[in-house]
Structure 1
Amino acid sequence: MLKGRINKIPVAVGAGLLLFALLGSSILAVKMTGLLDQWTGNGQTQSQFKLTPKQEKSEVLPLVSLPPQARASKLEAIASGSKSLDQQRARYLLASDLIEQKQGEKALKWLEGLDTEYSVLASQISVKRAQAYELMGDKAKAEAAWNAILTNHPTQPVAAEALYALGESNPEYWNQAIAKFPSHPSTHEIIRQRLSKNPKQSALLLVLAKSNPEGQGMGAIRERLVNEFAAQLKPEDWEAIAFGYWETMEYERAAQAYAKAPRTPLTAYRVGRGYQLRGKRIEAKAAYQQLLRDFPDAKETGLGLRRLASLSKSDEAMQYLDLAIKKFPDEAAEALLTKANILEAKGSATSASDARKSVLTQYKTSDAAAEYRWKIAKTMAAARKYKEAWQWAQPITTNNPDSPLAPEAAFWVGRWAAQMGRPKDATAAFEHVLAHYPESFYAWRSAHSLGWNVGDFTTVRDLKPEIVSPQVRPTPPTGSAALKELYQLGQNQSAWTLWQAEFKNRLKPTVAEQFTDGLINLGIGRHQIGINKIWYLSLRDTPEERSQWKDLRQEPAYWQALFPLPFLESIISWSGQRQLNPFLVAGLIRQESRFEPKIRSVAGAKGLMQVMPGTGTWIAEKIQLKDYNLENPDDNIKLGTWYLDHTHQEYSNNSLLAVASYNAGPGNVSKWISKYGFNDPDAFIEMIPFGETKGYVESVFANYWNYLRIYNPEIAQSLAKYSPAQSVVSRQ
């Protein structure tokens, strides 16, 4: 076995995770590709988000992705030229690179007078100047430079860096930093140093808990607050602590903290849900009942009633379900289906049938109606009644276009039409998937069915698609002008530091703020957090937020952020040596680790491709590799691609079986082949009995397809004919 189970949802994923738990288990029906809802526009709507920079003729921005040594000579030529925005950018990048290389004196040359010319980064230039003097060992000039920042930029976040530097000799400066810039990383370092000397400072612990819930070691900070200072905490303090627990999926602790937070429908619901997610049925039921008493009309109560029903015996459950049906239209369809199941178990088949018919008539646009239709359709298909299956599934594509089941249903409508000898209907269905659900696994299957050169399970490993990465970074949709400029210049750490000070709305970020937060996290290599922050935007539920999210989906930068390509050089190199499609390798890595080099599963699998240590030793012996580190990206990809090649060889280069074996092991795959046969790979996937493996296979190939449509011009241009807003590389 190559790997063990790994948490596919990150420890801290931003505000979206809060909505994930609020919305509940229906979200788990999503095939975990990193996508939830489907794009439904026609590509003609004007987006309110403009992430692609204006088409300026910049010589500097395309150099941002290059290593310092590779871009130095070109930057020097531009920096020595006539005055322009490019010249200012080149000077700043050269100075930043030199400071990283600890060459302060050379950096000062490029910084001289730059702050007056390059005003957007004037405060950042002042920091670079102070850092250069420090590298030179000139304490007097460094101190003067830090003081100049306090004089010229007293309210800018860079002042926190100056206060930190000056406070090493005068503690009063550190007091000012804590008071004025509580969320700045320099302030957090000050707090940690003070806590190391005197841990009994609840006020400082609270600053960290409120302003840095995702920071390293914050679990221990929250534990100390709860265990040592509970009597001193106010309700709003408990809410911040609960938020941190919820973000890190410590649901029972979150429930306990939310019980002491300000009483709102949301906090009351999370008390119940937190207990329920940890199997505390009695506590969960009591909390939901309290929610019903305190907030009888809140939307959270409607979902709470369905949760209550799931924790209750049938007669009591029916009462809660009836109340949900009567008072909460958004929950009525799901409640009716649950009620139908209870009635059927009690022998009331007619009443159960009536309840299900109500779902299809009164709530035909609900996800519950789609789920019921799809269940019947699959039953009919299993009995080879393709016409009946088609008739049950086809309305999902029109009545339930935003259901997670819609792309799957549309694809199989096409497959069943083909099996009934209706090729025109089949083609129309496949084109419908490409037009409306271009990011889905079923879009790939539809593209293949239409004859596109996208690979099939037996050919995909051998494809060598062209890869075109964007030359210029997008502009974050929010934040200061300095933040946007730093991000475009690839100054990832500086952008992240500035964003920590600017990002005030952590508990309830706007769509623009959450997307920006995702971009900034991706920039500093926190790929898991960044990807998931962006993905969880799909769970926004107000009309305005969903409209903003759909606008974002029209931007190439959204998809490039959701499907980034870090470690591309190693992926291309080792994929080439193993004769593997690099996009297939990238898709597998994205599913396994979200590109986190040091991630470790519960079973002990390590790194990007989640290689078990024992498997790593076995592979290393095979390839005579004496020295390796599974947390090193290149080493991990070297070993993981060898194993992926090995699983392909075991199954005659069938990538479906190879990927399934990578997840579930060859023994299970062999059993499934023997039991179900393998005449139809799409049908085989539907019959995989391990829900995790079925989702894993679909996710890996959906990832593959998204990398192909995003970074391969040929496929992007073909797809643009059906879904213009999804054309990505063709619009660079």
Structure 2
Amino acid sequence: MLKRRKIQILLGTAGLVALIVGATVPVLKWRGQQEQPWSIAGSPGGGNTSKKQVTAFKALPPAQRTKALEAIVKDKESPERSRARYLLAAELIEQGQGKKALESLKDLEDSYPLLGAYVLRQRAQAYEAIGDQANVQATQQQLVKDYPKSPVTAEALVALERNNPRYGDQAIAQFPSHPSTIALVQQRLKENPKQPQLLLLIAKHALYAQNYLTVLDTLTKQYATQLKPEDWEAIAFGYWEKQLYGKAGAAYTQAPYTPLNAYRIGRGFQLGEKGGAIQAYQRVVQDFPTADESALALLRLAKLSDSGRAIAYLDQVVQRFPAKAGEALLEKAKLLEQQNSLKYAVQVRQILLTRYAKSDAAAELRWSLAQERGAANDAQSAYVWASSVLLHNPTSEQAPEAAYWSGKWAEQLGKQQEAKAAYQQALSKYPHSYYAWRSASRLGWEVGDFNSVRQINPEVVRPAARPDLPVGSATLKELFQLGQDHDAWKLWQVEFSNPKQPTVAEQFTDGVMRLGVGDYLDGIFMVSFLSERDKPEEKSQYQALKQQASYWQALYPFPFLEPIETWSQERQLNPLLVTALIRQESRFMPGIRSGVGATGLMQVMPDTGAWIAKQIKLKEYKLNDPDDNIKLGTWYLDYTHQEYSGNSMLAIASYNAGPGAVGGWVAKAGQQDPDVFVENIPYNETKGYVKSVFENYWNYLRLYNPDVAQKVAQVSKEQPDGITPES
């Protein structure tokens, strides 16, 4: 049943007892912005039930959280007592109650050795809270002595550096990537900016630093002659990650000459719109004839060359790189068609569909033929071609769309059973897709369609516990489980030693760490970009990861829930639709600003914000304040719904493209099938935006609404492997 129920935190007497004795913790609904939705997957150093207890406390208001932790601390038989003492101390320190924190921390390093170094760090903080500087320094020195290899020791070294610079030198030498060390390096550079070795530390270890690009520019302009090839590689990687591709390409010319670096020289020059890309790609092909990067270079050369040379490059790909042959053949067919060599184009496409039938390029060709026949009102041929995508290319990018439209075309042909099977296949095989939502709607599920999704008030149930991280030390995993996200992130900066070529598990963990500290933009990117892995073993690891709820929950986090809930209720909007739009607009980054000035979570333009504020008589507001931004953005989203009689598809399109553009499209399209309307939106950005927002909405619904999640799971159990195309 899709209905809104206000959140209840079950921590009255009965709820607290249930948590303490290890009963199942009720999941929480629409709680504060710092929560993260994770599922549970085993527990290091304790059973799952115990871990659920401790993790659940993070969601409570501070006073209740402190009371709950104190109750466990008093129970000397509780297996969670050491964890509770640690968390209680953290709470008390934050409240300025250093003396009580010291009581909770007494001898805790003995009973909780996994976090022994962090216990000493907390003890120093507790002494700091009561102003006992002598014991602060003594405890920091004890931390350095007892835990010399623990990365958290960097914090003590940096603190002790105030009285003795040699401690700072030790931090830089031993823990160069720890954020506390980076902060010390920044301070030393502020005092004396002419220190290239310290600048290099930031270039290599502090991609997150606000002045990161300034540091790279300083190194390349002032210290180029002093840099080693490995230094240039770090600088090039930094520019590449910051999407300054022209600068990255230039820096890679000075880096070690590997296939990847050689390819990035050409790609950097191409994307940076600098000359020399063709020559760089040609050099890759000549110097690394068997490397995968040569296949990519040949494909790029084909795009940059006249048709005659392009076909020669594509033929080389077909002959030398079978994994990329399908892509080369598809491009060759397009070139031949442009040359009016239609007979040869048909032959090339036939080779693609037979010899490389399972390639992504074959899927692209099949789907383009299906769309072509559908536009010509040949539903039978369109259905056959769409079904062939599902048969031969079930993991392709086009498969979800093909599954849905094969259902639509089957309906047009009066094949109701085939249509139902197609929609169920979209839900079973591609449950994350926009087309799964459209399929669920066609099957009559209570998930909303374009005209009704606004009115739905979904029940949202969020897991109260977290999964285990796939990689990292036991200490890192423990900090993460306890919700100590900033400490976990700091430790990860030390442990993540291979950011240039991370494993699938490392990249996922890095994304999760970023989410934990509120870097939703890069966190979601790191997780979503795993789909670009192309090596067979990495693809397999990625597919396995996609089967876990934690992957999807990382892609669809839930920050800023309270203002979303408040203003969605005020505007009578589906809160998951608002959440979906915010995810698409800003990736939940409240301070983000677009190139044209759109600001904040819902990317409100300053002029639009001023107009809305006048309508609602709001005298003071800040667009980068989450509550103000959502207040203004939801009003405008309500306004666009009113403009189009509650049609959410048109309202969402208008939010992106403006009411004038959408009004013109509606006038031209008339009473058109809404799915056809979406596919025919003339602005590619707006077409993708509409699909992405509703895909976001669907994923929040299928992940966190129990009824929809259960129905998707049931369809997956019942659905056969695939649809057999008719001849």
Q: Same fold (TM over 0.5)?
A: yes
One-letter code aligned to 2:130: M
User: 1:339 Cα shift?
Assistant: 1.7
Alignment of 1:42-191 (within 5 A): 54-57=47-50, 58-191=52-185
Of 264, 267, 270, 1:270 maps to 264
State the distance in 2 between where 1:633 and 1:465 align.
22
One-letter code aligned to 1:563: Y
Residues 50-88 of structure 1: CA deviation (Å, up to 9, x unaligned): 689953245332111224233121222222222433222
**1:403 aligned residue:** 396
One-letter code aligned to 1:369: A
Alignment of 1:480-499 (within 5 A): 480-499=473-492
Is 2:659 the counterpart of 1:633? no
Contact 1:49–1:552 (CA under 8 A) maintained in structure 2:
no
Greater mean alpha carbon deviation, residues 324-333 or residues 681-690: 324-333
Residues 289-315 of structure 1: CA deviation (Å, up to 9, x unaligned): 111111112111111111101111111
User: 1:634 Cα shift?
Assistant: 1.1
Structure 1's 394 and 514: CA in aligned 2 closer, same or farther, altered over 3 A? same
State the distance in 1 between where 2:524 and 2:43 align.
17
Moved over 4 A (4+): 47-54
SS class of match (1:548): helix
User: 1:347 Cα shift?
Assistant: 2.5
**1:540 aligned residue:** 533
Residues 611-665 of structure 1: CA deviation (Å, up to 9, x unaligned): 0111111111111111211111111111111110110000000000000000000
State the distance in 1 between where 2:613 and 2:64 align.
33
One-letter code aligned to 2:214: A
Structure 1's 540 and 72: CA in aligned 2 closer, same or farther, altered over 3 A? same
State the distance in 1 between where 2:363 and 2:658 align.
33
Structure 1's 315 and 615: CA in aligned 2 closer, same or farther, altered over 3 A? same
User: 1:240 Cα shift?
Assistant: 0.7
User: 1:48 Cα shift?
Assistant: 14
User: 1:49 Cα shift?
Assistant: 7.9
One-letter code aligned to 2:189: L
User: 1:197 Cα shift?
Assistant: 1.2
Contact 2:247–2:272 (CA under 8 A) maintained in structure 1:
no
State the distance in 1 between where 2:43 and 2:656 align.
37
Contact 1:528–1:595 (CA under 8 A) maintained in structure 2:
yes
Of 670, 678, 692, 1:677 maps to 670
Contact 1:461–1:584 (CA under 8 A) maintained in structure 2:
yes
Structure 1's 324 and 151: CA in aligned 2 closer, same or farther, altered over 3 A? same
| TM-score, L = length of structure 1 | 0.90
**1:606 aligned residue:** 599
State the distance in 2 between where 1:55 and 1:81 align.
19
Structure 1's 235 and 678: CA in aligned 2 closer, same or farther, altered over 3 A? farther
State the distance in 2 between where 1:663 and 1:417 align.
33
Alignment of 1:181-220 (within 5 A): 181-220=175-214
User: 1:178 Cα shift?
Assistant: 0.5
Structure 1's 548 and 724: CA in aligned 2 closer, same or farther, altered over 3 A? farther
Query: Quick one: higher RCO (CA 8 Å, sep 6+), 1 or 2?
Result: 1
Structure 1's 725 and 554: CA in aligned 2 closer, same or farther, altered over 3 A? farther
Alignment of 1:471-550 (within 5 A): 471-550=464-543
One-letter code aligned to 1:70: Q
Contact 1:51–1:476 (CA under 8 A) maintained in structure 2:
no
Contact 2:196–2:219 (CA under 8 A) maintained in structure 1:
yes
State the distance in 2 between where 1:93 and 1:177 align.
27
**2:12 aligned residue:** none
Alignment of 1:333-732 (within 5 A): 333-723=326-716
User: 1:158 Cα shift?
Assistant: 1.6
| Gap runs ≥5 in structure 1 | 1-46, 727-732
State the distance in 1 between where 2:637 and 2:115 align.
47
| TM-score, L = length of structure 2 | 0.91
Is 2:304 the counterpart of 1:311? yes
Structure 1's 547 and 345: CA in aligned 2 closer, same or farther, altered over 3 A? closer
State the distance in 2 between where 1:461 and 1:423 align.
28
User: 1:464 Cα shift?
Assistant: 0.5
SS class of match (1:157): coil
SS class of match (1:624): coil
One-letter code aligned to 2:191: K
User: 1:724 Cα shift?
Assistant: 6.4
SS class of match (2:527): helix
Of 241, 249, 252, 2:246 maps to 252
Alignment of 1:214-229 (within 5 A): 214-229=208-223
Residues 535-588 of structure 1: CA deviation (Å, up to 9, x unaligned): 111122222222222222222221111100111111111111111111101100
Contact 1:48–1:551 (CA under 8 A) maintained in structure 2:
no
State the distance in 1 between where 2:485 and 2:250 align.
37
State the distance in 2 between where 1:618 and 1:107 align.
50
State the distance in 1 between where 2:465 and 2:182 align.
32
**2:36 aligned residue:** none
State the distance in 1 between where 2:518 and 2:717 align.
31
SS class of match (2:80): helix
User: 1:369 Cα shift?
Assistant: 1.3
**2:19 aligned residue:** none
Greater mean alpha carbon deviation, residues 487-496 or residues 405-414: 487-496
State the distance in 1 between where 2:436 and 2:250 align.
44
State the distance in 2 between where 1:372 and 1:665 align.
34
State the distance in 2 between where 1:130 and 1:656 align.
56
**1:300 aligned residue:** 293
SS class of match (1:97): helix
One-letter code aligned to 1:118: Y
One-letter code aligned to 1:192: Q
**2:30 aligned residue:** none
Percent identity over paired residues:
54
State the distance in 2 between where 1:51 and 1:399 align.
41
**2:23 aligned residue:** none
User: 1:128 Cα shift?
Assistant: 0.4
SS class of match (1:475): coil
One-letter code aligned to 1:685: V
Contact 1:49–1:551 (CA under 8 A) maintained in structure 2:
no
Residues 160-216 of structure 1: CA deviation (Å, up to 9, x unaligned): 111111111100111111000000011101111111111111111111111122332
SS class of match (1:476): coil
State the distance in 2 between where 1:103 and 1:51 align.
31
SS class of match (2:60): coil
User: 1:235 Cα shift?
Assistant: 1.0
Structure 1's 419 and 50: CA in aligned 2 closer, same or farther, altered over 3 A? farther
Structure 1's 549 and 632: CA in aligned 2 closer, same or farther, altered over 3 A? same
How many corresponding residue pairs? 679
Structure 1's 51 and 593: CA in aligned 2 closer, same or farther, altered over 3 A? farther
Structure 1's 401 and 204: CA in aligned 2 closer, same or farther, altered over 3 A? same
State the distance in 1 between where 2:578 and 2:311 align.
49
**1:33 aligned residue:** none
User: 1:473 Cα shift?
Assistant: 2.1
One-letter code aligned to 1:579: Q
State the distance in 1 between where 2:79 and 2:227 align.
51
